Amino acid sequence: MSQKTFAIALMDPPYESENLTTAFRILDVMAQRGHNINLFAYEGAAGLAFAKQTPHPNPVHGKNVAEENHPTTKDQVTALLALAAKNGGKVDWVNCGMCVDERGVGEFVADTRRGSPADFHSFCEASDNVLAIPTK
Amino acid sequence: MAKKTLNIIESAYRAVMEEQDDTILWLLAAMQGAGAEHTVVLRGNAVNYAVAGQGAPGLTIGGWKQTQAPHMDNDVIDLIERRKIPVFVIKEDLAARGIERGELVPGVQLLSARMLPKHMAEYELVSHW
Amino acid sequence: MAEYLLIESRDPFESNDVGYYYDLASGLVEAGNQVTLFLIQNAVFAARPSAQAPKLQALVHSGIKILADDFALKERGITKLLDGVQLAPIEIVVDHLEAGHKTLWH
């Protein structure tokens, strides 16, 4: 399969919806296959790449930080970018600027950037296909 | 020429007070300004966005007062008249909610749910919100 | 004639609106399109043979290819599927996107 370019919109914030688990699984497949991914992180999803997320222990189950190894979406984003690069795909991960501002999540992991709806429009125009994953 | 995109919107009144907009109507208006060619179909509870005369007063929490409370009917009118985004409303969903045609803002077009599949064929992209 | 992938994340026990999406799938087939309905997340609750999910059961053998996400099934311990619903990996979403099929998420 030749390299494709996909535009994806995400809306869910971290830790609130199984939509993100499924979304990252789909993105992982795209990255494994070396496709280009243009992702617009809108609304709550603007927090997915927030660099100041920190994992925590699990006192209910008696696990310390290391034992719990709690997922952070920022690490998933970083891993996704690395996987895509390894397979020849480019990821343009755009955090909607106003969404970032109102949530105070203006520090992102490396190789993600601030943007706007104009970016999502450009992504849709430039892509082979589009998948919008709405929130409920 | 931008890709003709149909946006089926069903999410309704989610975060509209906090955002002072419906986040999808807002997104589409912004994208239209960037050159997109969008059309909207309101379905489910979102058909209520087209009902004229709606809008809660701004929130007041302690000394904090909201001064720009949203009015979804005005936003629908804005999409149609200013942004030139056609807005369709699923008529069966209006009927289910007891909303009469005469209650809607001007410019909204009715579409039967039965016709939605055929309507989707006219667009290069279809997104469901 | 076009091809569609309709991704359904909701189940009919919690959401009345799932019926609309099943109807959309049927309507698209009647309009001459090829449709795959991919059940993910809680949508797979409707896919047990013993589930009280008549609307999904009515879709089987109606010309719609109905798939259920293997991850979601494992996560929920669902080991038997309604006859006519097939297990599928998440990769099929990317397969459909690669093929240019209109892909919608509910």
Residues of A in contact with B34 (CB under 8 A): 117-118, 121-122
B99 pLDDT exceeds 90?
Answer: yes
A134, B36: Cβ pair inside 8 Å?
Answer: no
* C94 lies within 8 A of chain A by CB: yes
Residue C81 — very low, low, confident or very high, per pLDDT cuts 50/70/90? very high
CB of A117 closer than 8 Å to CB of A96: yes
Q: Is the ipTM of this complex over 0.95?
A: yes
A19, C103: Cβ pair inside 8 Å?
Answer: no
Domain count, chain C: 1
Q: Which overall architecture, per CATH, does domain A5-133 show?
A: 3-Layer(aba) Sandwich (3.40)
Buried b (16+ CB within 10 A) or exposed e, B108-124: beebebeebbbbbeebe
Domain that holds residue C36: 3-105
A1 pLDDT exceeds 90?
Answer: no
Q: What ranges do the domains of chain A cover?
A: 5-133
SS3 C63: coil
Interface of B with C (CB under 8 A): 8, 10, 43-44, 113-114, 116-118, 120-121, 125-128
Question: In whole numbers, what is the pLDDT of chain B averaged over residues?
Answer: 96
C105, A134: Cβ pair inside 8 Å?
Answer: yes
Residue C96 — very low, low, confident or very high, per pLDDT cuts 50/70/90? very high
Mean pLDDT of C66-86: 96
Per-residue pLDDT tens for B4-37? 999 999 999 999 999 999 999 999 999 999 999 9
At the fourth CATH level, which superfamily is domain B4-128?
DsrEFH-like (3.40.1260.10)
A121, B14: Cβ pair inside 8 Å?
Answer: no
Query: Distance (Å, rounded) from C-alpha A119 to C-alpha A97?
Result: 11
CA A70 to centroid of chain Cα atoms: 17
What values do phi and psi take at C44, rounded to 5? -70, -15
Mutate to test the interface with C, among A2, A10, A18, A22 (most CBs of C within 10 A): A22
Mutate to test the interface with C, among B116, B122, B125 (most CBs of C within 10 A): B116
